[in-house]
C-alpha cells in the first residue's frame, strides 16, 4: 500500500510528530510512505503563521522566522523517520507558477467566491481558514479583505498544483493529512477523492488530559468521522456498558476541564463564587428557578458550510440564534418566578486565543439593550466559569454546542432547538424539540418538574468513554506529553553513555512501533470503523460494576468542583441530588 502523506505544517510539532509516528507504525506493517513537506512554498500565508495568533498583515521577517523553524522541524522528521520525502517547493514547476499568476490576475473580491477550477469551487474552498480566523458569517468578500484573501488563494493554488503532480506521478493508494479541513489540505483531498483515492485525516483525541497520546484516523474529514461515530453509538455502543479504561479517561478529562487547565477550552477557570454571590451578581430572587441559555459561535459552523464540509441547517425550528433568543426572552418575560441567564460563547468576543469580535455578537447586543428584569447576560468579563453556573441552574437551553453534554455530566436536563450538527447524542442526553410549540411545552415541563436524572449521568459517562477512548488509537507507548521520541530503557541508557563520550551522533534513533499499529493498518486498509476494530479486545464492565465506577468518578469530580468536604455542605439542590445516589 502506497501512502502519500501531505504534511506541509512541520512547524506545528504537536501535529507533525504524532502524524509521523502513525505513518511509521503503518510502514512497519508494510506500507510505503512518501512524506511531503512544504519547503517554504506556502510562504505567502499558512496555518503555522495563523497559529501564532497573527493575521495576514504579519510582517515578512516574522513569516520567514516561522518558515525557517518549519523547515528545521521537517528535517528533524526526516532524520528520525527516514521516510522517502519531498516538498511542495521541489514539486512545483515553472508552468505551475505561470498558471497561478494568470489565475490570480483574473480574480478580484467581486468574483473570487464564484471561481471554479477543475470543477471545484476553488474560491470558496480556499477561504475556510480566512473565514474562521476573522469570524465571518456571510459568504461575501469585501474590498478591504482582498489583500488578505489573495494570500490564501496563492497558498492553496500552490498546494493544489503540487498535489495534482504528486498524485499523478506517485499514484498513491491512500492520501494522509493532518486535519484535512485546512484549505491547503482540502483542495488536495478533493482532487484525490475525484480520482477515487481514499483519504484519511488524522488529528488528536478529544480528552484534553492526554490528547497528544491518542489519535483519530478519520475517513475523509472530522465531520464525516463524527457523524459515523454518532451512528455507531445509536446502533450499538449506547447499549454496551463502559470499560474500566474508558471510565478512567472520563475521570481524567473531567478533572482537567473543571480545573480550567487549558486556554483551548472555553468553559473558563473556576471562580469559587458562592450561590449568594452569583445570585447577587445577576440580581436573581432567592426562590426563582434558573435556566441557562448557552449560545454557540457561528464562525466554525459557517466556515465549514462555506467549503461544503457541513450542510445548511435543516431541522432548526428557529431561523437562527437571534430569533431563538428573542422568542425565548419573550417567553420568559411572562415567567416572573423564573430567571434566564444568557451565556455568550467566549469565541464571540476577543478571548485567550484571538482578539476578533464577531459580527454575530454585534447583532446580539441589539437584543440585550432592553431585556426584562428576569433575564441577564453572562459575559466572559463576569469571570464566571460555565461550571460555576451549573450548580445553580435547573435546566439548560442550547443550539448545537457541547454545553448540553457538559450539563448532562451532572444530570442536568437540557433542550436543543435543532438536531443538526450532532457531534454527541443530544436526544439521548437531553431532548431535541421538533417544533416551537414543543420547545416551549418542554420548557414549561422542566419549570414545573425537576428533570434531574442519575440515569442521564450514567448515559453521559458511557458516551464520554466512547468518545474519549473507544474511537481513538492509543499511542501512549510511543509518545508522551513532551512530544519526544520514546525509546526503550536499554537504548536510553546507551545513548546517555555515548553522550558523555560525545559519541551519541553515531547512534541512530531507535524507532518504536505503536502497539496498536496493526489495528491502525487494518483501519486504513479495510476502512472499517475504529470503534469496531478496537472493540474486539475490549473488556466491558457489568452494569453493576459500571454503576460503582460512575459513582466513584462522580464523587471525585464533586471534590474538585465543590471541595473535598462537599458532603458536609449540601447547600444546593444539585449536591443533594448527587449525594442521594452515591452516599
Q: Are 157 and 103 in contact (CB under 8 A)?
A: yes
DSSP per residue, 291-329: EEEE---SHHHHHHHHTTSSPPPSS-SSSSHHHHHHHHH
| 501 or 255, higher pLDDT | 255
The CATH code of the domain that includes 91 is 3.40.50.620
Confidence class of residue 124 from pLDDT cuts 50, 70 and 90? Answer: very high
- pLDDT over threshold 80, residue 162: yes
Using the Cα atoms of residue 168, residue 169, residue 170 and residue 176 in order, give the sign of their dihedral. Answer: negative
| The last residue of a domain, from among 170, 204, 238 | 204
**Residue 306 sits in the same domain as residue 434:** yes
DSSP per residue, 411-476: T--EEES--SS-SS-HHHHSEE-SSHHHHHHHHHHHHHS----HHHHHHHHHHHHIIIIITSEE-T
Look up cell 439593550; give the residue: 369
- pLDDT over threshold 90, residue 87: yes
Whether residue 409 lies inside any domain: the answer is yes
Q: Are 473 and 207 in contact (CB under 8 A)?
A: no
Domain of residue 296 covers: 262-457
**Total domains present in the chain:** 2
What pLDDT does 347 receive? 85
> Which are the contacts of 411, defined by CB distance < 8 A and separation ≥ 6?
452, 453, 454, 456, 457, 574, 577, 578
Whether residue 94 lies inside any domain: the answer is yes
**Residue 138 sits in the same domain as residue 17:** yes
The CATH code of the domain that includes 373 is 3.40.50.2000
In whole angstroms, what is the distance from residue 466 CA to residue 519 CA? 17
Q: What is the mean pLDDT of residues 289-306?
A: 94
What pLDDT does 504 receive? 57
Nearest C-alpha neighbor of 420 from the set 398, 390, 391: 398
**Residue 157 sits in the same domain as residue 15:** yes
What pLDDT does 266 receive? 61
What pLDDT does 416 receive? 97
Nearest C-alpha neighbor of 431 from the set 407, 448, 410, 467: 407
**Residue 157 sits in the same domain as residue 283:** no
Confidence class of residue 495 from pLDDT cuts 50, 70 and 90? Answer: low
| The last residue of a domain, from among 438, 457, 476 | 457
Q: Where are the beta strands (DSSP E) in 255-409?
A: 289-294, 338-343, 375-378, 395-398
Whether residue 109 lies inside any domain: the answer is yes
**Residue 199 sits in the same domain as residue 296:** no
What pLDDT does 487 receive? 52
Q: What is the mean pLDDT of residues 237-261?
A: 94
* pLDDT tens digits, 501-528: 766 555 555 688 999 999 999 999 999 9
SS3 42: coil
| The last residue of a domain, from among 424, 457, 490 | 457
Tell me what percent of the residues of the chain surpass a pLDDT of 70: 93
Q: What is the mean pLDDT of residues 86-107?
A: 98
Whether residue 436 lies inside any domain: the answer is yes
Mean pLDDT of the chain: 93
Whether residue 485 lies inside any domain: the answer is no
Q: Would you state the cell numbers that stand for residue 243, as one nine-digit string?
A: 470499560
What pLDDT does 356 receive? 82
Confidence class of residue 272 from pLDDT cuts 50, 70 and 90? Answer: confident
* pLDDT tens digits, 416-431: 999 888 789 999 999 9
* pLDDT tens digits, 15-26: 999 999 999 999
pTM above 0.95, yes or no: no
In whole angstroms, what is the distance from residue 583 CA to residue 581 CA? 6
**Residue 178 sits in the same domain as residue 285:** no
**DSSP 8-state symbol, 121:** -
Amino acid at each position: 500500500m502506497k501512502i502519500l502523506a501531505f504534511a506541509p505544517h512541520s512547524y506545528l510539532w504537536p501535529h507533525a510528530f504524532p502524524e509521523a509516528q502513525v505513518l511509521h507504525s503503518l510502514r512497519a506493517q508494510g506500507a510505503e510512505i512518501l512524506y511531503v513537506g512544504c519547503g517554504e512554498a506556502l510562504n505567502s500565508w499558512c496555518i503555522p503563521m495563523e497559529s501564532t495568533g497573527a493575521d495576514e498583515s504579519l510582517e515578512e521577517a516574522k513569516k520567514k522566522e516561522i518558515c525557517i523553524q518549519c523547515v528545521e522541524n521537517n528535517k528533524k522528521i526526516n532524520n528520525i523517520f527516514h521516510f522517502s520525502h519531498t516538498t511542495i517547493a521541489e514539486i512545483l514547476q515553472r508552468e505551475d507558477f505561470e498558471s497561478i499568476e494568470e489565475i490570480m490576475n483574473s480574480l478580484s473580491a467581486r468574483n473570487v467566491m464564484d471561481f471554479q477550477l477543475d470543477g471545484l469551487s476553488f474560491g470558496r474552498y480556499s477561504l475556510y481558514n480566512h473565514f474562521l480566523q476573522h469570524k465571518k458569517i456571510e459568504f461575501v468578500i469585501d474590498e478591504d479583505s482582498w489583500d488578505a484573501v489573495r494570500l490564501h488563494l496563492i497558498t492553496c493554488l500552490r498546494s493544489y498544483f503540487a498535489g495534482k503532480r504528486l498524485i499523478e506521478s506517485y499514484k498513491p493508494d491512500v492520501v494522509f493529512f493532518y486535519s484535512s479541513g485546512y484549505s491547503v489540505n482540502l483542495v488536495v483531498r478533493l482532487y484525490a477523492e475525484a480520482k477515487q483515492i481514499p483519504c484519511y485525516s488524522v488529528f488528536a483525541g478529544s480528552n484534553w488530559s492526554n490528547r497528544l497520546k491518542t489519535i483519530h484516523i478519520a475517513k475523509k474529514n472530522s465531520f464525516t468521522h463524527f457523524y459515523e461515530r454518532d451512528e455507531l453509538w445509536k446502533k450499538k455502543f449506547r447499549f454496551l456498558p463502559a470499560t474500566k479504561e474508558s471510565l478512567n479517561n472520563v475521570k481524567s478529562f473531567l478533572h482537567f476541564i473543571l480545573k480550567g487547565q487549558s486556554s483551548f477550552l472555553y468553559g473558563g477557570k473556576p471562580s469559587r463564587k458562592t450561590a449568594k454571590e452569583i445570585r447577587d451578581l445577576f440580581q436573581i430572587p432567592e426562590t426563582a428557578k434558573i435556566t441557562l441559555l448557552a449560545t454557540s459561535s457561528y464562525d466554525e459552523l459557517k466556515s465549514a458550510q462555506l467549503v461544503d464540509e457541513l450542510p445548511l441547517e435543516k431541522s432548526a425550528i428557529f431561523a437562527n440564534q437571534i430569533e431563538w433568543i428573542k422568542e425565548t426572552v419573550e417567553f420568559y418575560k411572562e415567567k416572573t418566578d423564573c430567571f434566564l441567564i444568557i451565556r455568550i460563547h467566549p469565541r464571540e468576543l476577543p478571548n485567550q486565543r484571538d482578539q476578533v469580535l464577531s459580527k454575530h455578537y454585534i447583532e446580539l447586543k441589539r437584543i440585550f439593550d432592553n431585556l426584562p428584569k428576569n433575564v441577564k447576560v453572562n459575559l466572559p468579563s463576569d469571570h464566571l466559569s460555565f461550571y460555576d453556573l451549573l450548580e445553580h441552574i435547573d435546566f439548560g437551553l442550547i443550539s448545537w454546542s457541547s454545553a448540553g453534554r457538559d450539563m448532562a455530566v451532572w444530570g442536568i436536563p437540557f433542550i436543543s432547538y435543532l438536531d443538526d450538527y450532532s457531534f454527541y447524542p443530544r436526544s439521548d442526553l437531553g431532548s431535541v424539540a421538533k417544533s416551537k410549540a414543543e420547545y416551549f411545552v418542554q420548557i414549561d415541563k422542566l419549570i414545573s418538574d425537576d428533570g434531574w436524572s442519575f440515569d442521564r449521568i450514567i448515559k453521559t459517562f458511557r458516551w464520554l468513554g466512547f468518545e474519549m477512548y473507544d474511537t481513538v488509537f492509543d499511542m501512549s507507548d510511543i509518545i508522551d506529553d513532551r512530544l519526544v521520541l520514546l525509546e526503550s530503557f536499554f537504548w536510553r541508557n546507551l545513548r546517555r553513555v555515548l553522550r558523555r563520550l560525545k559519541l551519541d551522533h553515531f547512534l541512530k534513533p531507535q524507532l518504536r512501533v505503536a502497539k496498536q499499529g496493526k489495528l491502525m493498518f487494518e483501519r486504513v486498509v479495510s476502512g472499517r470503523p475504529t470503534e469496531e476494530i478496537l472493540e474486539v479486545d475490549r473488556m466491558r464492565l457489568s452494569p453493576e460494576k459500571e454503576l460503582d465506577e460512575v459513582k466513584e468518578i462522580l464523587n471525585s469530580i464533586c471534590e474538585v468542583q465543590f471541595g473535598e468536604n462537599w458532603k458536609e455542605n449540601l447547600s444546593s439542590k444539585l449536591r443533594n441530588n448527587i449525594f442521594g445516589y452515591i452516599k
